[in-house]
Amino acid sequence: MHIDEKLTPILAEVLHRNAGEDEFHQAVKEVLGSLGRVAAKHPRYANGALIERLCEPERQVIFRVPWVDDQGQVRINRGFRVQFNSALGPYKGGLRFHPSVNVGIIKFLGFEQTFKNALTGMPIGGGKGGSDFNPRGRSDGEIMRFCQSFMTELHRHLGENVDVPAGDIGVGGREIGYMFGQYKRLTNRYEAGVLTGKGLTYGGSRARTEATGYGATYFVQSMLGTKGQSFAGRRVSVSGSGNVAIYAIEKIAEFGGKVVACSDSNGYIVDDHGIDLALVKEIKEVRRARISEYAAVKSAAHYIEGGSIWDVPADVAMPSATQNELTGKDARTLVNNGVIAVGEGANMPCTPEAVRVFQEAGVLFAPGKAANAGGVATSALEMQQNASRDSWTFEQTEARLADVMRNIHDRCAETAADYGAPGDYVLGANIASFLRVAEAMEALGVI
């Protein structure tokens, strides 16, 4: 990735100040790689250390989370909240519970979130949080006690006009419910807008669960449309089998595509008849089990332990599991097998080398901060419903989501063309989002 010489000192400072935080370095490099053209066109953004300020979180909170397991043993995890940027609105972004979580990962996610949220056009700043807690195999009681302890510290940093968390990997409706309950109890306030991704019985929005996967599929459909193509009749691979993957699979099928593979961290399944989504939902959402169980039920499907889902030939690939899951080697395999479009359902799932391989091969490529923005956009719609004490229908909410995704697509495409790189959605997303945050920061003065 070429970084403009005006920006190299900024990158050097980020690398130095955040030593060892590889994912954060990667995310900053990717954005700075696009900003050379902005610095050339609008030299004023070099003043006021605007880009430097954007790379430094406004606030970072790290705390101890003690809890008691079912055997009565006291356990300790580490909790994080990185409040990255509030120029456009309250900090907004999910919580991730996964053993890999550390401050560098949360910082990369918070940085990405700031730009993603700006792209939605909604009044939300960027933040991210979570814990190195591993929910796998934990009982409901253990999950509840962990969530309550986590919120006991985090609640003092939140508020519907301050910071509004939601879910991410390892945090879904169940965890949000326990955290909302504890927030309400500690503050003695029914402040629905303090968390999003809530259940429908206590202030959640319809279509929020589906939104990230649906939104990513809408984005890829628009992108395919620019080349006169669509999902209809296409073979698609979707990695992961969590919330994003499940609802991407659902929408792709609605658009006439055939999803033939999905995965979890242990392995992947291939079903040439098209993935049976009801079965995946039953395994993942009800049984909370591993995807290998799919092949145990469906004899026509194969389960491959380990290995790479990207070895499966596909026309469209939607990496929807986690960061850096699709490598340069995987990208070359997909290109050799004729892939025409790649849409990132997860945050930064393609390595920089993989992105380069796709772009050099002329494959349509949608970066996560644009393609997966439908989740957080629908969170902003949930905040709107909470603020007006209203609740919209599924159709109304999905129509708003579809509209937001179309706008993001068009804005990225137009910005890329304006800056001399038509079809480069990475550049378009980075510049369009940077301009929105930068203009607001400029207006607010040196803060």
Site string for ligand GLU, 332-351 (x = CB under 6 A): ---------------x----
For ligand GLU, the closer of residues 217 and 347 by Cβ is: 347
Q: How far is the CB of 147 from ligand GLU (least distance, A)?
A: 16
Site string for ligand GLU, 151-180 (x = CB under 6 A): ---------------x-x------------
Stretch that binds ligand GLU, among 55-63, 86-94, 155-163, 283-291 (CB under 6 A): 86-94
Is 93 among the residues that bind ligand GLU (CB under 6 A)? yes
Identified binder of ligand GLU from the candidate list 23, 27, 28, 92, rule CB under 6 A = 92
Is 441 among the residues that bind ligand GLU (CB under 6 A)? no
**Which residue out of 92, 116, 128, 369 is catalytically annotated?**
128
For ligand GLU, the closer of residues 57 and 375 by Cβ is: 375
Q: What is the DSSP letter of 285?
A: I
Q: How far is the CB of 207 from ligand GLU (least distance, A)?
A: 12
For ligand GLU, the closer of residues 10 and 376 by Cβ is: 376
For ligand GLU, the closer of residues 31 and 376 by Cβ is: 376
User: By three-state DSSP, how is residue 54 classified?
Assistant: helix
Identified binder of ligand GLU from the candidate list 320, 379, 385, 397, rule CB under 6 A = 379
Which position's Cβ is nearest ligand GLU? Answer: 94
Q: Which amino acid is at 327?
A: T
Q: What is the distance between the alpha carbons of residues 432 and 112, in angstroms, rounded to a whole number?
A: 13
Stretch that binds ligand GLU, among 67-75, 292-300, 371-379, 422-430 (CB under 6 A): 371-379
Is 375 among the residues that bind ligand GLU (CB under 6 A)? yes
Let me know if 251 is a catalytic residue: no
Is 130 among the residues that bind ligand GLU (CB under 6 A)? no
For ligand GLU, the closer of residues 168 and 250 by Cβ is: 168
Note the Cα 421 to chain centre separation in Å.
25
- Which residues are marked as active site? 128
Binding positions for ligand GLU, rule: CB under 6 A: 92-94, 113, 116, 166, 168, 196, 347, 375-376, 379
